[in-house]
Amino acid sequence: MSKKLIVLAVDDDMINLKLLKSMLMKNENVQEVLEAKNGADAIAQIKSRADINLILLDIIMPVMNGLEMLEIVRADDSMDQIPVIVLTTDETKKSQALELGANGFLMKPIRNSDLTQKIDSLMFQ
């Protein structure tokens, strides 16, 4: 059974986004990768697309950071079921991210194997 995921990658760093996108597109379960530059941009995309299955979320971003966005997503009935994997260089944010409702946490730089394993464990168990 192959589930086709629509993944929203949220990161203000274009290089990180490109890297993330190329890793995700190698995953046979990923159908499409949407990109957002910050939390506000991401929220707008989620509201306009009901088919997003997974959010990969950077924490440190301008406008609205990842933790602020996570709080909004978890407080909104239309979005609160979407799994969120937080991606960051800041290990100290892990407990806060998980308390706010993140479903997973990966340290940057992200390895493809770790990302695939985390997505599979979240989405296909």
Strand 104-107 to strand 5-10: parallel, antiparallel, or no bridges (unpaired)?
unpaired
Domain holding 72, by residue range, is 5-123
Going by C-alpha positions, the residue among 124, 119, 125, 121 that lies closest to residue 8 is: 119
* Length reported for the chain: 125
Going by C-alpha positions, the residue among 26, 89, 76 that lies closest to residue 47 is: 76
- Please state the pTM of the whole predicted model: 0.95
- HSE at residue 93, side-chain half, CA atoms within 13 A, is 23
Residues of the chain with pLDDT > 70, as a percent, come to 98
**What are 96-111's pLDDT values in tens digits?**
999 999 999 999 999 9
Amino acid 1: pLDDT: 46
Average pLDDT, the chain: 95
Amino acid 124: pLDDT: 86
Domains contained in the chain, number: 1
**What are 13-26's pLDDT values in tens digits?**
999 999 999 999 99
- The neighbouring-strand residues paired with 85 are 56, 104
The CATH number of the domain holding residue 62 is 3.40.50.2300
**What are 43-81's pLDDT values in tens digits?**
999 999 999 999 999 999 999 999 999 999 999 999 999
Instruction: Render 25-45 in DSSP notation, one character per residue.
Output: HTSTTEEEEEEESSHHHHHHH
Amino acid 5: pLDDT: 96
Phi, psi values for residue 121, rounded to 5°: -70, -35
